[in-house]
Amino acid sequence: MKHIDQVSLAQSENLLNIISKLQLAVAASRMGVWEYDEATQSVHWDDRMLEIYGITDGKNQRPDDFWERHIHPDDIEAMTAYAEECRRENKDFNHDYRIVREDGSVRHIRSLARNVSTPGEKSKLVGVNIDVTEDYLRAEELKKAQTQLKHDARHDVLTGLGNRRALDEVTQDAFDVMAATDRYCLMLLDLDYFKEVNDELGHLAGDFVLKTVARILVDVVGTSGTVFRIGGDEFATFFPVAPPEGDIVALCETLIEQVKAPIPFQGEDCFIGASIGFAFGKGPPKTASRIFSDADTALYEAKRNGRSGYCAYSSDLTQRPACVTNTRRDLLNALSNDAFICHYQPQFDAKTLEIIGAEALVRWQCPQRGLLPPAAFLPEATDLNLVIDIDERVLELVASQQDDWHLESLPFPTVSVNTSAERLRDPDFTQKVDKVLRPHHKIAFELLETAFLDDIDDVTRANLDALRARGIRIDLDDFGSGHSSVTALQTVKPHQAKIDRSLVRPIETNPRQIMTLQALCRIARLASAKTVIEGLESGLMLAAIRSVDCDALQGYALERPAPASDFAALLRRAAQTSV
């Protein structure tokens, strides 16, 4: 007997132990617990339940319709129907809904409940409520940001017009539904003397000119076509139903006249001009790029005939000469002749302004055309599938540069190399990286065009994991530009997100833009990513972003991209001052 007592005592002590642990777990989880007993018609809410619903009278026994009275009017019908369904089918209740607290505020609740009665008994329900309002707000914020980014991906921030990507989509949509006899027209407009305005009067004047031209184009074109800004000073207008050629000619003349008129900006007159080329097409083209190259040929002809003119495409026009485009042979030669080099642009700690990294930016030392920036050859290298080769070369260059610094015992920071998302789809990617990198190398990969990583495939995922396993940092480039989406924050889980230049530039003229930057930093932080603000061009911009809570800064105002020797000199100076 004594033995049995000891056992039951030990069991009940054990039970008490478990119960107190459970109570602790419930308290820590901030869950509210309730119970309903049909037999006694009583409802018991614990203190946390009362707290969640904003009830301050401290009464734990509540009337049995108490819960329903607090459900948000828009959710009540669905929730009572769902509760009834759970009761009928004897299944667990598991749903989110909104409540209106005693003070009138609305909260999102996650509710789980189970029938714990034994068969034949009146029902006994036990449930928990968790306040998940913060999760909902976060999800809403992400959704809003995603919608905004989707919009930004297709729009030019400065003029609000559709961008090149939008033009590609609009033309493709039109081609998809076009009959063989339908005629359409594409008009390209390129500004003359725009560079002079930018150089002489500054980029604020340049921006103003671009906005003015955008307005003129939209006014003159009206509803017959859609206007896009497809490059620095290049605009396109697509007419899905081609107006008669005479109307297009009249439109070109009006545009050229209006753009030629002086544009007053801060007491100065800006003088620019416009050259226009246009081409007609009939029926869906074999390749969408055909109409672009025809309109471009016409534009080139207009420019050749003197500026501020227009020209229609015809098959006897000469194509833009090959010397300004790069052929596959030129690029392959450049690869085999070591004509690609890297410039390094330092990145600074936002608080201490210490150098904490650098970005390697590729340049082509072209024997005919001098030192070329990426914009002069990467688009064609992409079309010719040579970007991956260039990216691999850049990684080799940076690794070999770091070998030198290592030998010299020069302390150097992590250097980021840009990489197209496509490169990550290469199953041999990690093997190639392993061939180049040694333990003393400090490399990060900056992923471009991550908008295409929304649906990450197995090879990409394996490559990203392999990089992480090797301690290689992964960053998202151009975050917020539309080339890089919020979704990528979740799929790629980057170490840091670099906020795109196009979003940084407007802070000089539009103080509200700071809020966008702040929001982007917050979104990145929600995904545990650090943030870099790039493109800080002026002291004014540097001052403006002081209030943004970001981690690192990059831009001309701090340091321009420079050859490796200049960057090493900077590192040496930094090393000396820190001694």
Q: How far apart are CA 539 and CA 203, in angstroms?
A: 14
Binder of Mg ion out of 152, 192, 296, 446 (CB under 5 A): 446
DSSP 8-state class, residue 484: B
Beta-carbon-side half-sphere exposure of residue 100 (alpha carbons within 13 Å)? 10
Shortest distance, CB of residue 554 to ligand C2E, whole angstroms?
6
Mark residues 446-465: x for contact with ligand C2E by CB under 6 A, - for none. Answer: x-x-----------------
Binder of ligand C2E out of 277, 309, 482, 561 (CB under 6 A): 561
Which residues ranging from 520 to 559 are in contact with ligand C2E (CB under 6 A)?
Answer: 534-537, 554-556
Nearer to Mg ion, 317 or 341 (CB): 341
Q: Which amino acid is at 310?
A: Y
Binder of Mg ion out of 226, 308, 347, 418 (CB under 5 A): 418
Q: Quick one: which of 291, 220, 212 has its CA closest to 249?
A: 220
Question: Do you know the residue count of the chain?
Answer: 579
Write the CA distances from 495 to 394, 436, 473, 488, 489, integer angstroms.
21, 22, 6, 12, 9
Which residues ranging from 339 to 398 are in contact with ligand C2E (CB under 6 A)?
Answer: 345, 361-362, 373-375, 378, 387, 390-391, 394
Nearer to ligand C2E, 288 or 562 (CB): 562
* 316 CB burial (10 A radius; 0-12, 13-18, 19+): exposed
Q: How far apart are CA 368 and CA 447, in angstroms?
A: 31
Binder of Mg ion out of 152, 477, 551, 559 (CB under 5 A): 477
Q: How far apart are CA 188 and CA 236, in angstroms?
A: 4
Nearer to ligand C2E, 418 or 513 (CB): 418
Which residues ranging from 405 to 424 are in contact with ligand C2E (CB under 6 A)?
Answer: 418, 420
Q: Which does 374 bind (CB under 5 to 8 A by kind): Mg ion, ligand C2E, none?
A: ligand C2E
Q: Is 391 in the site for Mg ion (CB under 5 A)?
A: no
* Phi, then psi, of 200 in degrees rounded to 5: -85, -40
* Contact call for residues 144 and 153 (beta carbons, < 8 A): no
Shortest distance, CB of residue 478 to ligand C2E, whole angstroms?
6
Mark residues 477-506: x for contact with ligand C2E by CB under 6 A, - for none. Answer: xx----------------------x-----
Shortest distance, CB of residue 340 to ligand C2E, whole angstroms?
8
Shortest distance, CB of residue 18 to Mg ion, whole angstroms?
55
- Taking each helix axis from N to C end, the angle separating 203-221 and 245-260, rounded to the nearest 10 degrees, works out to 150
Secondary structure of residue 151 in the 3-state scheme:
helix
Segment holding 366, helix H or strand E? strand 355-366
Q: How far apart are CA 232 and CA 241, in angstroms?
A: 27
Shortest distance, CB of residue 535 to Mg ion, whole angstroms?
8
Shortest distance, CB of residue 391 to ligand C2E, whole angstroms?
5
Nearer to ligand C2E, 297 or 554 (CB): 554
Q: Beta-carbon neighbour count of residue 161 at 10 Å?
A: 23
Shortest distance, CB of residue 500 to Mg ion, whole angstroms?
6
Nearer to ligand C2E, 144 or 560 (CB): 560
First-to-last C-alpha distance (Å) of the chain: 80
**Which residue stretches of 444-507 are H helix?**
458-469, 486-492, 501-504
- Write out the residues near Mg ion by the rule CB under 5 A: 418, 446, 477-478
- Write out the residues near ligand C2E by the rule CB under 6 A: 345, 361-362, 373-375, 378, 387, 390-391, 394, 418, 420, 446, 448, 477-478, 501, 534-537, 554-556, 561
